[in-house]
Amino acid sequence: MKNSRILFSAVLIAILACAAAAFAGDGPSINMNWYGYFKLDGSYDQNPTSHGNFIMYIPQNPTYGDKSQFTMTANETRLGLNATGTGYGDVTVGGKLEVDLYASITGAAIAENKAMLQLRHAYFFLEKRSFKVVAGQTWDLISPLNPSTLNYAVLWGCGNTGYRRAQVSFWYTSKPNKATDVVMAAGMFRTIGNDLTPTFTLATGEANDGVDDGINSSIPSLQALFEVKHA
């Protein structure tokens, strides 16, 4: 299993490196641009909310009773880096690294004044004409919804099922006319499930076994996207 993992990573890196080198022009370089913002959120809630610092739903039977709460946090503060390659012929090379302070640890609590970095995006891409390959962690293909909201949760728990995960995805974009873009994409993604045993099979008497069912599935998740944009 260990050898297979190393081989897969090595093959992927070699393919992408060779693709970039094959189309490289004279004097290739990488331009890097930083971005980000500082944000302070505060709220008074008449009833306990799902997460305190942000809200996805109101618990029907809150652990600490039906009482008002006040929260204040700077955890949505964000820092990112966009990298764009130049001098690679007709191939566009780039990547993104982005973090915020909403990290969590399974089974452990993080003090509100000792926030930890959370990796949001870390990927690179190669693009030539209508084709693009993306490798790293970024948004799911399914439910690609990113509305602008003051609340940290971008409609999660309200219909938006997409999130970010490690992936290798392949994209094709065509433009039938000036006002229309057609996008097709597919890829394989890390299967993230934690221990789903109690959720789905508790009624049958099966106990929590503590195993990450996503990893134990032994296969990646497959996603696909077909999108039409018309201005």
DSSP state of 96: E
**CA gap 137, 80 in Å, rounded:** 14
Q: What pLDDT is attached to residue 153?
A: 87
| Sign (positive or negative) of CA dihedral 139, 136, 36, 227 | negative
Does 38 score more than 90 pLDDT? yes
Q: What is the DSSP string of 170-192?
A: EEEEEEEETTEEEEEEEEEE---
3-class state of residue 71 by DSSP: strand
Task: Count CA atoms closer than 13 A to 179's CA, side-chain side.
Answer: 2
- Of 151 and 207, the structure prediction assigns the larger pLDDT to 151
What is the average pLDDT across 66-91?
91
Could you state, in order of their start, the residue ranges of all structural domains in the chain?
130-147+163-231
Does 75 score more than 60 pLDDT? yes
Highest-confidence range of 60-64, 66-70, 122-126, by mean pLDDT?
A: 122-126
CB atoms within 10 A of CB 48: 19
The 10s digit of each residue's pLDDT in 109-137 is: 788 899 999 999 999 999 999 999 999 99
One-letter amino acid for residue 63 of the chain: T
DSSP state of 207: P
Q: What pLDDT is attached to residue 87?
A: 86
Instruction: Say if CB 227 and CB 182 are below 8 A apart.
Output: yes
Q: What pLDDT is attached to residue 18?
A: 57
